Every structure is written in C-alpha cells, then in structure tokens.
Structure 1
C-alpha cells in the first residue's frame, strides 16, 4: 500500500482544522475530492480516522496515532529536501517556535530582529503558548522548538537545559507588616518555612509552577496556608496588589514598575527556590539548517541576557 505525500498533507490539514471544507480551502482542493481522499485513506488503513459530525470532524484514537506518524513523515521529508537544497547555503524555510509569555517578553524582540537581519529567507513563526502544551505542540508538528518549564519522559522528545529562574515571594507592604510586625515591609529575605504564616495564593494544581513549588514544600516539610488558586500570573499579582494574599512567581513574570508602594519582592532562602527552562524538540528527526540556526541564536541570546542581568534572577547554569 502506497500513500501519496499529498494525501498525508491533506490529512494533517483536515486534522488540524477539524473541518474538511476548511482544509479544502487551505489545500486548494475541491471539497468532494478531499472527502473521497479521506475515505480512501481510511479504507487503505482499515480503520476510521475521523468521527464525522454536522459541525466538522474529530480524530478517533486511530486518527490521533496516525497523525503523529504523518507529521513525523512529512517533517522528515521536508527536512531531507531542505538539507540537500541548503547545502553550503544560508538558512531558509519556516521555523515555528513557541514559549510562555514570561519567556517571550525577553526573547521575542531580540530573536525576531536578529533572524530578520541575518537570515531574510527564514520565515519565523513566534508563538506564545502555555508551558504544558509545548511537548504536545512539538510532537504534533505545530512547533519546531518550544521552551518549557519541565521535562517529560518521552523518548520522542529531546530536552536541553537553557537556564534557571529564581522564584520570589510577593506581598503587599501592609501584609508583610501585619504578619511580621513593625518594619516587616522592609524585609529583604525570608526562609521558606517563614512563609507558612502568610495567606498564599498559588497557581492551580497541575500548573508547571505549582508542581515546582510543591516539590520544594514536600522536600522541606513545609505546609502553606493556601487560600485560593489562580492559574495566570497577571491575576495572581492583581490579587496580591489588592491585599487578598501573597504569591510566589519568577522575577520575569512581574513588571518591575509595580514594585514599590503596592508590592514587595522578597527573596526566599533556606532553600533558594528555582525553576528550570528547557528547550524541547523532536528527538527522532534531524533539524533543518534554519531550525538549527534559530535554536543556536536562542541559546546565545539567553546567555547574553542572563550574563548582563537583563533577565533578572536568571542563571544559565543549573544549581
């Protein structure tokens, strides 16, 4: 059984859009022809790939598995073609990178600017995505490189350590005074166990930052008085600024303009709390020259920003 690469690309388009009609427009294929193509593909594979509904299509379990293979095959073919085409040449082609907002705020401008200046034939797609979605986005071909706050035990993925970020305790000056007494608002550092006295608002269970905080709490035998859970840093900070409670975030997550009368950043000691940032890419497929060049540029940019202090409380080496 031979399956045309064109059919694979059309299948991926249908799976991504959730609609045969939308995929037909994107792929410049007549809708009846595309519908027949998908039916023949299911017949050839001997398994239903889609559940068809009035509002579109949804992948079956078999469809999900076949999508992973299809994306891998297409990316390998594209990489092989580009590898030969760009031998002894300059990088070119599409490169999709994604990362959480707190990382993008440091990397978006320098990376996009330098890619445009150095490699005009590279079409960079820069996306802000949640850390938890990065591995899946890489596996499904939506991203060539993703930055995430955790590693997964998946042989299909390769993670590389980029940097460590220090986690900091945030509270209103009035809250620090209320818990610690007169002069509390001037405190520069607190032990992790000292934070048990404060009302704390944390990200929801399952959030990458919450997982890291819970690891430290379990390790040190510390129990926080968690009064609420909120899964976005802007809302966490908003609640802290209104005196509802306190929280723990990286310095990168906070606009330094808000520090002062309404918000204090307090260093956490015994132990110092950190979280790691990793790059994530497919382990089973060689990178194109364009993807490899962009990854190298991101690594160099991270080193420069951490060394200069432009990325606050961030360190290029684990520890």
Structure 2
C-alpha cells in the first residue's frame, strides 16, 4: 500500500463524523491539517472522496466504496490487536508437534496433561507419524517441534534430550514354556526357534535393532511385523511371540510377571529421545513456554 496509513485514518474519521471540525477534535489535530490530508489522499487517488456542504462533508460514490474497504481494514487491525492482547494476557498460542504413536502415548501425553492444566489457552496440533516424516515436516516448517529418538540431524536442527530409553525383548511365561515344550529350546534360543515380533521396516527403532543384530550375528528364524509399538506389545501379551519393545514402557508388565525379559548378551545399548526443533526461526511465545516447561518436567525424579 503506497498511501500513508495516517491518511486513511483521517479519511475514516471524517467519513464517520461527516464533519471536519469534529474529526479534528477526535484526532487531536488541527482542521487545516485534516483538510490537507484529505486533499492529499484525493490527489493520490485522482478521485474526489467528499462533497462539501453547509452541514459538513458527504462521501462521494467513490468515497463510499473506499470507506467500506478502509472500515474492513481497520476492523481487521482491531481484531488483530485484540488477539495479541489475549495472547499476552491469557497465554494464547498454537503449537504443532510431530511424534510417533508410542512416544506420544508414553512420553508426550503425561507432559502435555500438566502443561495444559497450567496453560489452558494454548492450542495443539499433534501429527502422529514416523520419525522420518516428523523431520521432513520440521524441515519444511509445517510443525514447530517433534519428539523423536536421536538420529543424525541436519545442521539447522536442534536435538534437546529428555530421557534415555532401553530396548529389549519380552515374552509371556506361557509362550516361553510352550516354546520349550514344542521345540525343546531354552529361553536363550528364542531367536532360532521362536517368533520375533518387530516393528515394520523403515522405522527408526527397527533399524536400530537390525544394526544390533548384524553386530551380534543374530538372525531371527521367524519374524512377525507390527505397524505400531502398542500393537506389538499386544501381540506379545497374547503369546504370539517375543516382542522387541522399549522396556521403559512395559515396566509394570515386567514387574508383575506378565512379561519376562529375554537376556541379551551384550545388552542392547541405550539410546536417547528428545524434542527437535529448527534452530534458525524465531520461536513463538507459546513454543518458548512449552520448551521451558518440558525441560523442567523431564528433570523430575
């Protein structure tokens, strides 16, 4: 917009009051300054905007058209100011997060529950997807941050660790007993004689375990794949095989005897999970609030 915004503010006030002197009083400027501003705007547009009469001024047809647009523009600006005021006073904001189903359920949701209780006016969009999809969305700034297992990142991505996780294989006591009766195999022979439950290929967790298998020369005889960790845990729970799980998320089952852990020698190395976000863009107030909150939350014992 080439015209000075102040000219439109003066035009708007004169149109509303229909009187130059009242407009000057409302705007705390002189009548000559009002008249000069209106004349300048008319010269810029090369159109008459007002008809002068004994009672004041009246909009021309062209002026009436411009007034509707100016009024709409100022109403939009007022709404914008009101929204910013509410954001400041209430902590209103919008945060877009990308996260896998399992990390969302076991890691993100407990944190979000406490955050929303403290900041109920922040809106969230949660995109449930793989780590690779999360990083792609983050690169194109279609999400504000992601929650992923640590993996090689591009230079402009910051990884903010929140905890370590430990992978392992678990099975029900009944499954291991039946395997021993059926195959005459010990628990340690589960990879040669049992069914191994794993996430589908392409998943970051699956790739991590495959790397471990290669290093230890382990070749499972029979694989059954699941699309999500929750489904994989359910498969193991009903005795379909020995599932590759994140042990942090089946602590209760290991403690109450629902699952038994398959000994791994050497143990599968721990890995880290954390939030990832773009290092370059200026973060919104809501996002900065959430970053500060989760850093404190995950430091809790």
TM-score normalised per structure 1: 0.55
Gaps of 5+ in 1: 1-83, 308-319
Give the match for residue 235 of structure 2: 239
Pairing 1:98–2:98 present: yes
3-state SS in 2 of match to 1:222: coil
CA drift of 1:204 comes to 1.9
3-state SS in 1 of match to 2:94: strand
Give the match for residue 277 of structure 1: 273
CA drift of 1:267 comes to 5.3
- Which sits farther off after the overlay, 250-259 or 237-246? 250-259
Does the 8 A contact of 2:191 with 2:219 survive in 1?
no
Pairing 1:161–2:161 present: yes
Pairing 1:218–2:214 present: yes
* Partner Cα distance (2:257, 2:248) in 1: 19
* Partner Cα distance (2:214, 2:256) in 1: 32
* Partner Cα distance (2:100, 2:258) in 1: 26
Deviations 1:163-199 (A, max 9, x none): 2111121212133234567xx9xx8xx6xx8744533
CA drift of 1:226 comes to 3.3
CA drift of 1:89 comes to 8.4
Matches within 5 A, 1:183-194: none
Give the match for residue 174 of structure 1: 174
* Equivalent residue pairs, number: 218
Does the 8 A contact of 2:106 with 2:249 survive in 1?
no
* Partner Cα distance (1:90, 1:283) in 2: 27
* Partner Cα distance (1:151, 1:136) in 2: 13
* Partner Cα distance (1:242, 1:117) in 2: 36
Deviations 1:266-316 (A, max 9, x none): 454422443321311112213223212201212222222xx3xxxxxxxxx
3-state SS in 2 of match to 1:163: strand
Deviations 1:75-128 (A, max 9, x none): xxxxxxxxx999x98854212223223222244554334434444553333444
* Partner Cα distance (2:248, 2:101) in 1: 9
3-state SS in 2 of match to 1:303: coil
Pairing 1:138–2:138 present: yes
* Partner Cα distance (1:112, 1:153) in 2: 25
Gaps of 5+ in 2: 1-83
Does the 8 A contact of 2:102 with 2:230 survive in 1?
no
Does the 8 A contact of 1:148 with 1:277 survive in 2?
yes
Matches within 5 A, 1:249-268: 249-254=245-250, 256=252, 263-266=259-262, 268=264
Does the 8 A contact of 1:116 with 1:122 survive in 2?
yes
Give the match for residue 124 of structure 1: 124
Alpha-carbon RMSD: 3.9
Q: Which has the larger radius of gyration?
A: 2
Give the match for residue 68 of structure 2: none
Change (3 A) 1:166 1:122: same
Give the match for residue 59 of structure 1: none
Change (3 A) 1:111 1:204: closer
Give the match for residue 115 of structure 1: 115
Give the match for residue 74 of structure 1: none
3-state SS in 2 of match to 1:228: strand
